[in-house]
């Protein structure tokens, strides 16, 4: 049996955690969809909140000095599993660290920047794709 190169181990750990994390998100959303109605994306909200809760449980244990958690297992659980389940939980962990540092300027910038710039980037990307598709359809009509 061959051993895995040390530089590949972290990437493999993240990948192995990402598979069940992404599948859990997908399956939970599919399961909840028939039960949730209205304009609010409740499935995503539930995933984001449960992901934050799970990261809140896992991160202190994974980074505690009391427990010895292998760095690969830490990556598998935090970045891989929870990170693919919801990146929102990672965002909230970063917010919590900034709040803990009591740097309100950095916290405010990160919070407003992530929310505002994220929404602007989403809108820009969407509009660019829609513009490209419209241009493509016009060009296709000419041929």
Structure tokens at 66: 């009391």
Residue 9, pLDDT > 90, answer yes
CA distance 61 to 9: 21
pLDDT in tens, 36-56: 887 667 888 888 888 888 888
Structure tokens at 137: 């359809």
The verdict on pTM exceeding 0.85 is no
CA distance 21 to 85: 4
């Amino acid at each position: 049996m061959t051993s895995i190169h040390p530089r590949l181990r972290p990437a493999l750990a993240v990948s192995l955690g990402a598979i069940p994390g992404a599948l859990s998100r997908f399956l939970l959303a599919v399961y909840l969809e028939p039960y949730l109605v209205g304009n609010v994306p409740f499935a995503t909200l539930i995933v984001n909140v449960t992901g934050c809760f799970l990261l809140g449980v896992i991160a202190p244990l994974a980074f505690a000095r009391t427990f010895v958690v292998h760095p690969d297992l830490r990556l598998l659980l935090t970045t891989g599993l929870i990170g693919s389940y919801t990146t929102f939980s990672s965002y909230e962990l970063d917010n919590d660290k900034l709040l803990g540092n009591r740097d309100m300027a950095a916290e405010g910038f990160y919070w407003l920047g992530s929310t505002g710039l994220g929404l602007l980037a989403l809108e820009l990307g969407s509009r660019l794709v829609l513009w490209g598709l419209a241009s493509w359809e016009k060009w296709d009509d000419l041929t």
